[in-house]
Amino acid sequence: LALSLGSNLAGGYVDQQGGVAPYLTEMGNVVIDVGSQAAPHSVSGVPGASQQYLSQNSVFRLARQQGIDLTGFASDAERLEHVQALLTQGEPRVIEIFQMVGKYLATFIADTHRYLGMTNVILFGRVVRGQAGELIVQEAQRMLQELDPALARSVTIRLAGETDFTRHYGQA
């Protein structure tokens, strides 16, 4: 499974050799939170939609909950860059934000694995750039180990590299 965590959530297939299929599709409507306080999709209003948990929307929502002011920025890209800059400065609230995204990712992988049985998960998109991506992967792996050790051993989660065609698709 290839996942692009950007302005939304897109996904596509990864073959057994780790190659990404030449197309991605919208995955932001996949529900991963059925709780009464689930965040609604920004367009459809579907509560618990993955768009609100595995995209920059999640980072912004969690930043607001952590008391981080993002109102002074002209674009979502600038807001995300600011949060990621705070991460490189070691801001504990931001560390928690990206760890939480990793927990959401583990939930998504566990649920999706039931239907797709994937063994490779490749992440790309601006949310997983730099240290943020490393934190997200580490926490997702930790959570998968906690949720289902056998699944954690059978699924490889990694950040896209230069050989993955990330430059062909831009952001989700």
Residue 15 corresponds to which tokens in the numbers above? 């073959």
Q: pLDDT tens track of the chain, all 172 residues?
A: 899 999 999 988 877 776 777 778 888 888 889 999 999 888 888 899 999 999 999 999 999 999 999 999 999 999 999 999 999 999 999 999 999 999 999 999 999 998 888 888 999 999 999 999 999 999 999 999 999 999 999 999 999 875 565 444 444 4
Query: Which tokens sit at 1?
Result: 């499974």
Q: What's the predicted TM-score (pTM) here?
A: 0.90
Predicted pLDDT at 169: 45
- Alpha helices by DSSP H, listed for the chain, are 56-65, 76-88, 92-116, 130-147, 149-154, 166-169
* pLDDT of amino acid 137: 98
* Predicted pLDDT of residue 163: 58
* Among candidate residues 165, 45, 73, the one with its CA nearest the CA of residue 59: 73
Pairing between β-strand 9-12 and β-strand 2-5 as defined by DSSP bridges: antiparallel
Q: How far is the C-alpha of 105 from the C-alpha of 13, rounded, in Å?
A: 16
φ and ψ at residue 26, rounded to 5 degrees: -65, 130
